[in-house]
A and B are shown apart, each in its own frame.
Chain A
Amino acid sequence: GEDVEQSLFLSVREGDSSVINCTYTDSSSTYLYWYKQEPGAGLQLLTYIFSNMDMKQDQRLTVLLNKKDKHLSLRIADTQTGDSAIYFCARGGAAGNKLTFGGGTRVLVKP
């Protein structure tokens, strides 16, 4: 969707932190999500954040939300080779749960 944008590619060394960025335009977004897609598989929800929060931490994952700038980021600490995948940012509104996805960021973890 054009109103959710992500960079296409990120290369990171194993053990380093990865930061994937996302911007969106619709300020009515209620929930923001990060999904992971491994090769040949569907999408799996990694984490989500409610729009009244500015940070959420879940083990190696940290989500930061800047509502003023409409910017969302996902930080993966101690990145492993199993983290190589495509990561999708998505936003959902309060009315129903239709999601609008970004184009996905392909993360490649090098040993």
Chain B
Amino acid sequence: DADVTQTPRNRITKTGKRIMLECSQTKGHDRMYWYRQDPGLGLRLIYYSFDVKDINKGEISDGYSVSRQAQAKFSLSLESAIPNQTALYFCATSDQGLGTHNEQFFGPGTRLTVL
């Protein structure tokens, strides 16, 4: 079984709709992240969480919100989707450990299309 799972894997929605993307992990990591990937721009950090109830804005948080109610789950919401939020969304996890290398483990991605 995959350590980091995302649901749904694909979603097509309309402008103005509320969308929630879910991420679950079985790695027991404290830290979780949401990124979006756009061609040529790499991955950009939307939000991250270092522990349950801890929420931090990333580089591009406008138009998004997140919830971290449990260690294993981190959900990303688009309250009112717009077409420029069409992208590939990745969840990632990592262990803690300041001053040491911390590999991030990525889920398979959710492809979101906003019409």
The interface of chain A, by Cβ under 8 A from chain B, is: 1, 4, 8, 31, 40-45, 48, 50, 88, 92, 94-104
Contact = CB atoms under 8 A, between A and B. Distances in A.
- Which range holds the interface residue count of chain B? 20 to 34
Q: Which 3 A-B pairs have the closest CB atoms?
A: A42-B106, A101-B42, A97-B102
Contact of A94 (B35, B98, B104): B98
Given A94-B98, A94-B99, A97-B94, A45 B104 contact: yes
10 contacts: A1-B44, A42-B107, A94-B98, A96-B50, A98-B45, A98-B58, A100-B45, A101-B44, A102-B42, A104-B42
B48 A88 contact: no
Interface of B: 4, 31, 33, 35, 40-45, 48, 50, 58-59, 90, 92, 94, 97-99, 101-104, 106-109
A85 to B, nearest CB: 13
A43 B33 CA distance: 13
Contacts of B90: 42-43
Contacts of B33: 98
B43 A43 contact: yes
Contact of B42 (A1, A92, A95, A98): A1
A95 B92 CA distance: 18
Contact of B98 (A45, A88, A96, A101): A96
Nearest to A31: B101
A41 B42 contact: no
A43 to B, nearest CB: 5
Contact of B48 (A98, A102, A104): A98
Given A4-B42, A31-B101, A103-B41, 18 more contacts: A1-B59, A43-B90, A45-B103, A48-B103, A50-B101, A92-B102, A94-B99, A97-B94, A97-B97, A97-B102, A97-B104, A98-B33, A98-B48, A101-B42, A101-B43, A101-B44, A103-B42, A104-B42
